Each structure stands twice: as structure tokens, then as C-alpha cells.
Amino acid sequence: MGMGALFGRKSNTQRAVRQAKRFAFLSSSGIAAPVSGRCLLCGKEQLSFEFAGLCDECRGKITPNAGKTCEKCGRPLIAEERFCETCREKERHFDRAYSCYVYEDAAKQLVTRFKYAKALYIARQMAYDMAELYFTKDISCSLIVPSPSSAERIKERGYDHIAMLTEFLRGIINIPVAYGAVVKGKDNKMQAGLGGVEREENVLGVYSGGENSGMLKGAHVLVVDDVLTTGATASEVAKVAKKFGAEKVKVLTFASTRYSAGFSGATPGRSGDTEEL
């Protein structure tokens, strides 16, 4: 890789982080006011801001991940078992993963709008819910590591949605963020179009330590992401964090897919991520 490519990537990523910080600041100070008194899904006026900022009606369409979950990856389980099949059979480099909602219906729609339709105002509420889980579960970490997106994706999207989420979360749980500690190197294929096994192969070796990897030493890392599907990405990011000396790695996502035997991730095909725009 030439120096030009390196600087190109760096400035793209840095620009996205600056943009996220500015957006979080403007929102929190009320200047941008991304959270109105309206339901985040249907837009109906409402007074309550619990349950992902949804009105009474839309609230029924979101499933808190409060039932039986895998004690490692935190995905909702159907069977009465301690761990999902993936966590029983595969090495997981994170210590524990947690998520607020089951990735279906309203949770899926919120993430889709946030990620693909520039609905940045959703970030604040997502971060509030994640912070609540962080405190409820006593997750207690010392450093946030945002799950890195590749420079190409950030450019394509126009913003780094995980940095947006991270900036709001940081403002509530009040621990430092290490941008660029773990970076995404070569651009892998879009995860959304792949099945479980493909997803796992797709992320292997894609992540590496970046310029701030020194911050990882001795840290209790909190990896922040929007959705956990197979957990393969989280595991790879955790692997890099531990390689650079992180003591513990926990993962916090807004939603996670329901685990079903025979397939370790979301439904294959692109349908899952774009149909509800």
C-alpha cells in the first residue's frame, strides 16, 4: 500500500469521527435536537421516551432481549441451554456480549434507517438504551473501542454510524474512546449478503491494530456495534484488542439476531438489511 492510500484512509476516518463528535455535541446541547416529541418509527406525537423512543403502538413491535440468552454471545435462545451452538463449538475472543433488543421488526427498522437512510437522530435513543443495559448488567469497562468500518464504507455512507453511536454512549457512560485502536484493513464483502459460515470466513484477518493500539494495554474494552449477528466480527475485533494487551473484552450492541440451530447468523440474502427502508 502506498502512502497516498494510507493518508486517504486516515483522513476519511478522522473526518467521520469529527463529524460524529460534532453531531453528538450539537444534539446534546439541543442545537440540532434530533429527538423530537415524536415516535422514531411512525412519527406520532408522544410523551414517553422509553423503549427506543417509540409510541405505545410501535412499542409492541420491538422485542427486548430479555428472555433466555446465550451466556457468551448474548443472542436470544429458543432452547433451554446455557450457550448457543456457535459459542459451544467455536473459540470466542470476547468475554461476553450483550444486546438490548432482538434484531427483528421495529429494532431492525430503526437500525436500517440509522445505517442506510441517514436517520442520525436515532443514534441518541439507541445509545440511551445501550447505556441503560450497560449499567443494569454492570458491564463496567474502562475503554470504548468502536467496531471499525472500512474507509470505503464510511465514504459511501457519508458518515460513520458506529462513531455516532459511540459519541452519544460516551456522553452517558463517561469512559474514554479509542478510535483507531483496532482498524479494518482490506475491505471485505458486505456482511449483509452472506450466510453464517461465509460471514465468519469473510472477517478473518480483516482487523488489525491501528495507531492507537497502545491504549488497549491492560484495558477492559467495550466493543460497540449496532447489531451482533454471528458474533464473528466482534470476536475478531476482540482478538486484536487482546493481542495488544486488553485484559477483558465485552461487546455491547443495540440488537442481536435470534440464534437458530443449523444456521449461526441472520437469514442469508440481502433481504434482511434493506427491505424495510
Residues that bind Zn ion (CB under 5 A): 39, 41-42, 44, 55, 58, 70, 72-73, 84, 87
Q: Which helix (H) or strand (E) holds 3?
A: helix 3-28
Q: Based on CB atoms, which residue is closest to Zn ion, 107 or 163?
A: 107
- Shortest CB 170 distance to Zn ion, Å: 27
Single out the residue of 54, 135, 66, 53 nearest to residue 101, CA to CA.
66
Q: Are 266 and 231 in contact (CB under 8 A)?
A: no
For 109-141, what is the HEC assignment? HHHHHHHHCCCCCHHHHHHHHHHHHHHHCCCCC
For residue 153, with 0-12 CB atoms within 10 Å meaning exposed, 13-18 middle and 19 or more buried, which class applies? middle
Of 19 and 256, nearer to Zn ion (C-beta) is: 256
Closer Cβ to Zn ion, 70 or 133, answer by number = 70
* 3-class DSSP state of 224: strand
Partners of 45 in the β-ladder: 38
Least distance to Zn ion from the beta carbon of 39, Å?
3
Q: Give least dist CB 102 to Zn ion, A.
A: 14
The distance of Cα 56 from the centroid of its chain, to the nearest Å, equals: 26
Give least dist CB 112 to Zn ion, A.
16
For Zn ion, the closer of residues 157 and 258 by Cβ is 258
Residue 7 — φ and ψ, nearest 5°?
Answer: -70, -35
Residue with Cβ nearer Zn ion (154 or 255):
255
Give the nearer residue to Zn ion in terms of CB position, either 77 or 173. Answer: 77
Pairwise CA distance, residues 129 & 273, whole Å:
21
Report the C-alpha gap between 152 and 108 in whole angstroms. Answer: 24
The residue among 15 and 258 lying less far from Zn ion, judged by its C-beta, is 258
Closest approach of Zn ion to the CB of residue 3, in Å: 42
Minimum CB distance to Zn ion smaller for 26 or for 79: 79
Q: Could you tell me the smallest distance in angstroms from the CB atom of residue 151 to Zn ion?
A: 31
CB of 216 to Zn ion, least distance (A): 24
- Closest by alpha carbon to 127, among 156, 159, 170? 170
Whole-number Cα distances in Å, 154 to 46, 135, 170, 187: 33, 30, 20, 11
CB of 86: closest distance to Zn ion in angstroms? Answer: 5
What are the residue ranges of helices labelled H in 37-160?
56-59, 85-89, 105-116, 122-136, 151-157
